Structure 1
């Protein structure tokens, strides 16, 4: 078990670690986006907690097999609060971390692209679960803008098909039962192994393989800072655990 360094001022301690670090890797989960009005999935107010049918829609086998599931999924996409959400202070703090030349990579489990909207460089962002802002054809693999597909739904197509081949369109995200992209996961794990400081931000650290980035970074010698509003299975690996709103914690440690 790795003991958290005792201190009466953990914010200042982590801020010092960031100042000393050369390669900070951030791993972000749903907790950074909830403060932008995007609910998580399994929390008390989570999408799947409040609407179990939404989890059915997120299962690939159900989505591909049942037109009614797809129609419900398109209606849910239309109503997503992510379309009007804006980056919060936590997102902007990671932009500042990059501006300072500290951010080596930003691994995100989120699909909302708020990191890009905030201003982080796309070449530093590793989206392990894809993006909701694109659609992909399950048959021919063509990728197009989600906004175009949603406009077709508004115009009366309950289950729009691929205009190139007639195949099934889905959000360009990783559904339950869908394989992750090996090259993306490899890139995320390589980045974690190169870190000298890893910030795990707003993630339950229960979804693998990306949760494995934490022990991988620890094994490679990185300091680990976990920021979450509840305990995680990785807390014993942390050098520091910061509890509280991400939009307050991140600016406190990232802004010089």
Structure 2
């Protein structure tokens, strides 16, 4: 298990169901098929899918909250962004650790693991490029949604999380499974916890930079439009640079020491 790398994982709360008496329900075949497909897409059982949808039907409308649909959509995209950002943090840690492992194997590789290490590291590099592009897309989508809000609709309600969190549960599970697979791959290549900690420290420093830039952008966004119109593009460029994946190190000549 990936106890060495995982930064905070989002926990999906589930109600206790052991003591709830069963309730029979008849569904038309067409409706049952739609529920089954929705349950599979969200990574839930049919029962959990039906319960989630029933609960949402009672809570999805709050008369006193303007732009309700926009708030729900924004929170869903924010959770999807959280999945991608967690993936990016962990993948960057493994990228640094894997290429450090490659350099160590270039010096001494008694088990013949160098080629495999290079292949795994290059796979992580490719995944990082895709994740960064998805992060850019989700961030742009959040800004588009926020631009549509009316002036008096900035309140948040916990019930929004109860509606949208189950929709990204499958994405969180897939993200955590990828992290566990990476840890097993790294151990198989002779990687150690100490190597992971070194890479993790570098990633923490990079995350601090991203956080600072993002906070600066939020502050600039609150200023009058003509005040920040020249500064925001520059901040966006710096933020993209901090979030982007560094290019992979060039492979060295693979000469093994006798």
TM-score under structure 2 length normalisation = 0.26
- Structure with a larger share of its residues in strand: 1
TM-score under structure 1 length normalisation = 0.27
Query: 1 or 2 for the larger relative contact order (CA 8 Å, sep ≥6)?
Result: 2
- Structure with a larger share of its residues in helix: 2
